[in-house]
Amino acid sequence: MSSDPQRRYRTALTVATATIAAIGLASWPLTSTGSPTAPGLTAVQLGKGDFLVASRDLRDPSFSRTVVLLLEHGREGTLGLIVNRPTTMKLADLLPDMEGLDERDDAVYAGGPVLPGAMLMLVRSDRAPSESPQVLEGVYYSGNRELLAELVRRGGDGEPFRVYAGHAGWSPGQLEWEVRRRSWHVVPGDGAAVFDDDPLELWDKMIRRSTTLLAALRIRKVAQQILGSGSPTSMSITRLPP
């Protein structure tokens, strides 16, 4: 191979690596069972705190253009909340008997198609609220109405929270199958995105980042193979930034 082609591949590798670093520096290890989102890439392990970003081809109206935060994932199945679908319903209308809500304009979010009459909330806090499992650093989930009432009583001095009607759920193995079908991009979640000031734009932001990341990984993989600087199964993917 002449020096010019090698130089081009090294440049491609440098640009791809810089692009990946710009998207996020933290290492996110992958397995080597085959990519769920792009041919030749390795498969992401699902876990609590991950985002599911609906692919452009996902047509199911329950999940089209959604970003789902995984609250629990294990042998018994998966629990998640759609975080980018605010509704026109106000929390004060949903819970008219809760004191202090009439002074707020919090929207109720559509959390998913399962049990739409049930309520869950996400709370952003430096300390774990009572009986609230942690999902991400500084982000907890709860269905405790007393905690909600306490957060409302604190007003502007309290922790930010969002309330979701319904949730998303998958039986054991179902979500893995959907990921292998490339219905979802799987990326690490973060609290800033969960509480984005413009949730209706969140899917567009996340799908652009996912697409850019996958393209950069493909370029890096090809350049590494040609230059002999790495193998596909030793690659790592990077986390998206807050």
Q: What is the pTM of this model?
A: 0.77
Q: How many angstroms separate the CA atoms of 42 and 29, rounded?
A: 9
Q: Please answer whether residues 138 and 124 qualify as being in contact, where contact means their C-beta atoms are separated by less than 8 angstroms.
A: yes
Question: Which two three-digit tokens encode residue 53?
Answer: 């970003």
Q: Please answer whether residues 162 and 197 qualify as being in contact, where contact means their C-beta atoms are separated by less than 8 angstroms.
A: no
Tens-digit pLDDT profile for the chain (242 aa)? 445 666 665 665 565 455 545 544 333 333 333 333 333 334 557 999 999 999 999 999 999 999 999 999 999 999 999 999 999 999 999 999 999 999 899 999 999 999 999 999 999 999 999 999 999 999 999 999 999 999 999 987 779 999 999 999 999 999 999 998 989 998 889 999 999 999 999 999 999 877 776 666 666 666 666 666 444 433 333 333 33
SS3 217: helix
Burial class (CB in 10 A: 0-12, 13-18, 19+), 225: middle
Q: Which domains does the chain possess?
A: 7-238 (3.40.1740.10)
